Amino acid sequence: MEVKVGDEIPEWVMESVSAPRMATMAAILRDPNPLHWDRDAVDKGGWGLGRRTINQGPLDLSYMINMLHCWSGENSIRHIKMTFPMPLVVDGDRVVAKGVVTAVNQDKEGQLAECHIWLDRDGTTLLDGTARVLIPA
Amino acid sequence: MEGLSCMVSEETIKQLVGYEFPGGEYTIEHWENFLLTECTGAELMQDNVVHPVALFHVPIMGCNTTIAKMFELGHADSDASILVESYEWETFHPLKEDTPYKVSGGVIGAERCRGEEGDIYDRVQFRFELVDPQGELAARSVIIWYYTRTEESGD
């Protein structure tokens, strides 16, 4: 594969963010924040989310990784940085990882693609960031 | 107000810079990678490579600390008072299952900030490094969290 500036990365879709997966993730992370696994805690928080638990930031980020892996292959990500302008991804949400190539540099192992990547929900950017990905020669 | 920490002094926050976690070693076992990968909605990677999302919790736990202790370090008084600015991960070698990584890390930045609406928060920057059994740097993680504050009380 050869990439160029302006190439769009094929989207990766999480059709429905899952509360049970958040609970498993909380156990793995030893994350004590009940907003990830206790519907009552979310409801009492007063954010207008009802009883929908809030996805962990690293899980949101993982959807970006999955998109990049599907595009450029496993072990291709050299650097990734994500900011969280609208971090409230909740269970049942449909979110879409998107990206575009912004620069390409030649490396001895192949092309190093600089990418703008983001996580979208109905036109709202939830996460926004960059990635550097190796496209093997 | 729920979700906001009581105010600690700016000096207390600045003194966090240079703090180092105990450090230690962490081995990602197959079961952990399996469950972690399933949570992301992806298939297991080939050759026992660990899903990169492990770069959030493995550095923390490998450093012999926890998310809860990191909250305490910045004087957060509730889980909901923490906001994420960014997660930044660099990978030099793919992480593998059943491989003991040496982990070190600490606080590399801490400053008091004021938001556009006058809200006060403390921006704390953590950095972790994972070194493989061959002594090579395998990955680096930088976490930047905001500890949101009220102006009601001092320390």
Is it the case that residue A40 has pLDDT exceeding 80? yes
Note whether residue A127 is domain-resident: yes
Note whether residue A1 is domain-resident: no
Q: B57 vs A78: CB contact, 8 Å cut-off?
A: no
The ipTM, to two decimals, is: 0.94
Backbone angles phi, psi at B143, to 5 degrees: -115, 130
Q: Mean pLDDT across the stretch A119-135?
A: 97
What is the domain count for chain A? 1
Confidence (pTM): 0.93
Note whether residue B3 is domain-resident: no
Note whether residue A114 is domain-resident: yes
Q: What pLDDT score does B6 carry? A: 57
Q: pLDDT band at B5, cuts 50/70/90?
A: low
Q: Measure CB to CB from residue A78 to each of B36, B80, B91 and give the nearest one.
A: B91
Note whether residue B117 is domain-resident: yes
* pLDDT (tens digit per residue) in B99-126: 999 999 999 999 999 988 889 999 999 9
How many whole angstroms separate alpha carbon B110 and alpha carbon B117?
A: 21
Q: B94 vs A75: CB contact, 8 Å cut-off?
A: yes
Q: Measure CB to CB from residue A66 to each of B2, B42, B68 and give the nearest one.
A: B42
Note whether residue B129 is domain-resident: yes
Which chain A residue lies closest to B66 (C-alpha atoms)? A30
Q: Mean pLDDT across the stretch B38-63?
A: 98
Which residues in chain A have Cβ-Cβ distances shorter than 8 Å to B51? 62, 65
Q: Give percent above pLDDT 90 in chain A.
A: 86
Tell me the CATH number at B37: 3.10.129.10
Q: A84 vs B56: CB contact, 8 Å cut-off?
A: no
Note whether residue A27 is domain-resident: yes
Residue B21 structural domain: 10-148
Residue A50 structural domain: 8-136
Is it the case that residue B77 has pLDDT exceeding 90? no
Neighbour tally for B151: CB within 10 Å: 11
Note whether residue A62 is domain-resident: yes
How many whole angstroms separate alpha carbon B87 and alpha carbon B126?
A: 10
- Tokens 């001895």 belong to residue: A108
Pick the closest to residue B57 from A134, A38, A32 (CA basis): A32
List Cα–Cα distances, B128 to A86, B57, B131, in angstroms: 25, 11, 10
Is B83's Cβ below 8 Å from some Cβ in A?
yes
Q: Give percent above pLDDT 70 in chain B.
A: 93
The alpha carbon of residue B6 and the mean position of all alpha carbons in its chain are separated, in whole angstroms, by 22
Q: A59 vs B40: CB contact, 8 Å cut-off?
A: yes
Are the beta carbons of A124 and A99 closer than 8 angstroms?
no
Note whether residue B115 is domain-resident: yes
Q: What pLDDT score does B116 carry? A: 87
Q: Mean pLDDT across the stretch A119-136?
A: 96
* Residue B24 token pair: 């230690």
* Residue B146 token pair: 């905001």
Note whether residue A2 is domain-resident: no
What is the domain count for chain B? 1
Q: pLDDT band at B4, cuts 50/70/90?
A: low
Q: What is the DSSP string of A49-117?
A: -TTPPBPPHHHHHHHHHHHHHHHH-TT-EEEEEEE-SS---BTT--EEEEEEEEEEEEETTEEEEEEEE
CA atoms within 13 A on the CB side of A104: 13
Q: pLDDT band at B2, cuts 50/70/90?
A: very low
Q: pLDDT band at B14, cuts 50/70/90?
A: very high
Note whether residue A24 is domain-resident: yes
**Which residues are paired to B127 by β-bridges?**
B106, B142
Residues belonging to chain A with any Cβ–Cβ distance to chain B shorter than 8 Å? 14, 21-22, 24-25, 28-35, 45-46, 57-59, 61-63, 65-66, 69, 74-75, 77-84, 87, 129
Note whether residue B106 is domain-resident: yes
Note whether residue B141 is domain-resident: yes
Tell me the CATH number at A66: 3.10.129.10
* Residue A106 token pair: 């030649």
